[in-house]
Amino acid sequence: MKLLYQTHSPYARKALVFAHEVGIAHRLEVEHQETSPTRRNEDVFAENPLGKVPVLLRPGLPAIFDSDVICAYFDTLHDGRRLIPSEGEARWHALRVQAVAQGMAAAGIAVRWETVRRPEELRYAPLRDGNVEKLIASYDWLERELDFEAPVHVGHVAVATALSWLEFRGLPDFRAKRPRLAAWLDGFSGRASMQATPLAGETHD
CATH code of 99's domain: 1.20.1050.10
Within a domain: 205:
no
> Are 33 and 114 found together in one domain?
no
> Are 101 and 165 found together in one domain?
yes
> Are 108 and 182 found together in one domain?
yes
Within a domain: 59:
yes
Q: Which residues contact 140 (CB under 8 A, 6 or more apart)?
A: 178
> Are 70 and 93 found together in one domain?
no
> Are 92 and 177 found together in one domain?
yes
What pLDDT, on a 0 to 100 scale, did the predictor assign at position 196? Answer: 98
Within a domain: 122:
yes
- What is the separation, in whole angstroms, between the first and last Cα of the chain? 28
We report the CATH number of the domain holding residue 39 as 3.40.30.10
Mean pLDDT over all residues of the chain?
Answer: 97
Confidence of residue 62 (pLDDT cuts 50, 70, 90): very high
Mean pLDDT confidence for 187-199: 98
> Are 101 and 142 found together in one domain?
yes
> Are 95 and 67 found together in one domain?
no
Q: Which residues contact 149 (CB under 8 A, 6 or more apart)?
A: none
**What is the rounded distance in angstroms from the CA atom of residue 178 to the CA atom of residue 42?**
42
- Helix residue spans in the chain (DSSP H): 10-21, 42-45, 67-74, 88-112, 125-145, 154-168, 179-188, 192-195
Domain count, the chain: 2
Confidence of residue 201 (pLDDT cuts 50, 70, 90): very high
Within a domain: 9:
yes
User: Domain span at residue 171?
Assistant: 88-191
What pLDDT, on a 0 to 100 scale, did the predictor assign at position 158? Answer: 98
> Are 92 and 18 found together in one domain?
no
Confidence of residue 185 (pLDDT cuts 50, 70, 90): very high
Please give the share of the chain, as a percent, with pLDDT higher than 90: 99
Mean pLDDT confidence for 122-133: 98
Dihedral (Cα; 30, 33, 36, 39), 10-degree rounding: -160
Please give the share of the chain, as a percent, with pLDDT higher than 70: 100
**What is the rounded distance in angstroms from the CA atom of residue 25 to the CA atom of residue 16?**
7
Boundary (domain end) residue, out of 74, 102, 120: 74
Is residue 23 within 8 A of residue 83, CB to CB? The reply is no
Q: Helix 10-21 to helix 88-112 angle, to the nearest 10 degrees?
A: 150
Q: Which residues contact 45 (CB under 8 A, 6 or more apart)?
A: 51
> Are 102 and 63 found together in one domain?
no
